[in-house]
Amino acid sequence: MRLVTLITAARGLSLGLWIMIALMIGSVAVLFGGQRSDGDAVVMWVFSPTHRDLYQPMLERAGAEVGTPLDMRLMSIQAIERRMMSGFFSGLPTADLIECERAIVGRAFTGPLEAVGFLDITDRLRDEGLLEKINAPSFGPWTSRGRIFGIPHDVHPVMLAYRADLVEAAGIDLSGVETWDDFFRAVRPLMGDPASPERFALGFWYTHLDNVEVLLLQGGDGLFDQNELPTIATERHADLLARMVSWCVGPDRVAADIEDFSGAGHQQRIDGYGIAYFAPDWMCSIWKEQIPQIGGKMKLMPLPAFEPGGRRTSVRGGTMLGIARDSDRIEEAWEYAKLLYTSPRVAREMYQLTDIITPVTSLWDDPIYDEPDPFFMGQPKGRMYIDLAPHVPARSSSPYNRQAVVLIRDAAVSLADHARRTRTYDAEGLRPEAMRLLTQAEARILRVMERNAFSGVAGGGR
């Protein structure tokens, strides 16, 4: 009887209501009937279409070797970060293999070591001899509290790329340049009238987080020590910060604020507004794709050192491949990780497509790295980066690294204000204020770290 009443009532419903009900049922079906994966496959998340294209051709053969197929899924880096962290936090399934960029991996290391969602692969790397086969500094960003959680994808040494067409047309020889002071002195004539420069020696600004870190890593001893405590407020870092700011302020400034990835920044590169730029290996392919107009006009050289005999390179960016600790297919994932990240074919194609050199040192003798690159006036670009790779500075995986760099950037902004206010434009004069600001920055980062009840830093500090 009640059913009959219900049916009669349903007949009286309007068409609009029926459509809404149908949409609701459809939405639920779509939501819960979404993408299904092959239950036996090793699932891998990648954020770069180029990486996916590199790995795809070898998957069939690799699948036969490993005995389990690989289901590769391309996602944005933000999506990987959200899903990875949600999975790690709540114990929900993630991919078995996760390709992860340095900017997002630190979050995974914030909690206690036993809560890190990646598999600790330190012993596997040691047992299989991979620790020796891979460029040592490349493990840094993926190492937390002495344990390694990912296989490095790259080295990313940084060189200085300069407008060789302008430099050589002016008869300037940079081959003898060893330090930043040498470099600025050498290219000074190209800047034109000091009162109204036409161009600047270096595309750098103290607000650019990544480039500030590049220089701190090049000249300093790292922002965190082996115990992952901050080492920001040192005389050395104060000196570096004072020098960076002195490049950007005052009537004799040598640097200009030229964005790395914006259209305006690219146009300034084409116009020759900046003479030189920081060039990690991955930047080369971006320039080739986005500003081909400067092709054949650029040359690379090692970064000038801060003082004679100092380090001639730095490092920027980085990617790793990690295995989810809760994966059901850890062994298969490990086999895939080794195949993809230590394969000579992938290393070679990665260089051809992206200009990125492999961290696997045994593959560095591949002649492809000696081939002349027309974009850089025929220089053997790959070999130049490889020559610098062993000297890349070590980096910390501290989850507070980004915050530390942000605080140092803020200190630089305050220092620049101080310089303009007091008309102190030389590094020597700026150093005491730089030290004071860095001491404040270090106190702040320590305060943040001490709040973390899980990291073991609470109550610590220097």
Partner 1 sequence: MSAGRGIGGPSHRAAWIFLAPFALVTLVFVAYPLVQSAVLAVQQTYGPGTKTFVGTKNFTDMSGDPVFWTALRNTIIYTLGSLFIQLPLALALALALNSPRLRGRGIYRLIFFSPQLMGLVFVSILAALMFEKQAGLVNQSLHAITGGLWSLDFPWLESHVMATLIIISLWMYVGFNMIYFLAALQNVDQTLIEASEIDGAGVLARFRHVVIPAIRPVGSFVIMLSMIGSLQLFELPFVLLEGTGGPRNQGLTVVMYLYQSGFEVGDLGYASAIGWVLAVLLIGLAIVQLWIIRREER
Contact residues: partner 1, CB under 8 A: 85, 88-91, 107, 110-112, 115, 207, 257, 259, 262-264, 267-268, 399, 406, 409-410, 413-414, 417, 444, 447, 451-454
Task: Work out how close the CB of 90 gets to partner 1 at its nearest, in angstroms, rounded to a whole number.
Answer: 6
Nearer to partner 1, 362 or 454 (CB): 454
Nearer to partner 1, 88 or 376 (CB): 88
Task: Work out how close the CB of 115 gets to partner 1 at its nearest, in angstroms, rounded to a whole number.
Answer: 5
Task: Work out how close the CB of 174 gets to partner 1 at its nearest, in angstroms, rounded to a whole number.
Answer: 26
CA dist 84 and 151 (Å) reads: 17
Helix H, strand E, coil C: the string for the chain is CHHHHHHHHHHCCCHHHHHHHHHHHHHHHHHHCCCCCCCCCEEEEECCHHHHHHHHHHHHHHHHHHCCCEEEEECCHHHHHHHHHHHHHHCCCCCCEEEEEHHHHHHHHCCCHHHCCECCCHHHHHHCCHHHHECHHHHHHHEECCEECCEECCCCEEEEEEEHHHHHHCCCCCCCCCEHHHHHHHHHHHHCCCCCCCCEEEECCCCCHHHHHHHHHHHCCCCECCCCCECCCCHHHHHHHHHHHHHHCCCCCCEECCCCCCHHHHHHHHHCCEEEEEEEHHHHHHHHHHCHHHCCCEEEEECCECCCCCCCCEECCCEEEEEECCCCCHHHHHHHHHHHHHCHHHHHHHHHHHCCCCCEHHHCCCHHHHCCEHHHCCECHHHHHHHHHHHCCCCCCCCCHHHHHHHHHHHHHHHHHHHHHHCCCCHHHHHHHHHHHHHHHHHHHHHHHHHCCCCCCCCCCC
Task: Work out how close the CB of 86 gets to partner 1 at its nearest, in angstroms, rounded to a whole number.
Answer: 8
CA dist 378 and 387 (Å) reads: 17
Nearer to partner 1, 363 or 404 (CB): 404
Nearer to partner 1, 11 or 421 (CB): 421
Task: Work out how close the CB of 22 gets to partner 1 at its nearest, in angstroms, rounded to a whole number.
Answer: 19
Nearer to partner 1, 263 or 296 (CB): 263
Task: Work out how close the CB of 265 gets to partner 1 at its nearest, in angstroms, rounded to a whole number.
Answer: 8
Task: Work out how close the CB of 389 gets to partner 1 at its nearest, in angstroms, rounded to a whole number.
Answer: 30
Nearer to partner 1, 50 or 414 (CB): 414
Nearer to partner 1, 63 or 250 (CB): 250
Task: Work out how close the CB of 403 gets to partner 1 at its nearest, in angstroms, rounded to a whole number.
Answer: 9
Rg (CA), the chain: 26
Nearer to partner 1, 274 or 382 (CB): 274
Nearer to partner 1, 35 or 90 (CB): 90
Task: Work out how close the CB of 202 gets to partner 1 at its nearest, in angstroms, rounded to a whole number.
Answer: 15
Of how many residues is the chain composed?
462
CA dist 456 and 80 (Å) reads: 28
Task: Work out how close the CB of 438 gets to partner 1 at its nearest, in angstroms, rounded to a whole number.
Answer: 14
Tell me which residue of 128, 122, 176 sits closest to 323, measured CA to CA: 122
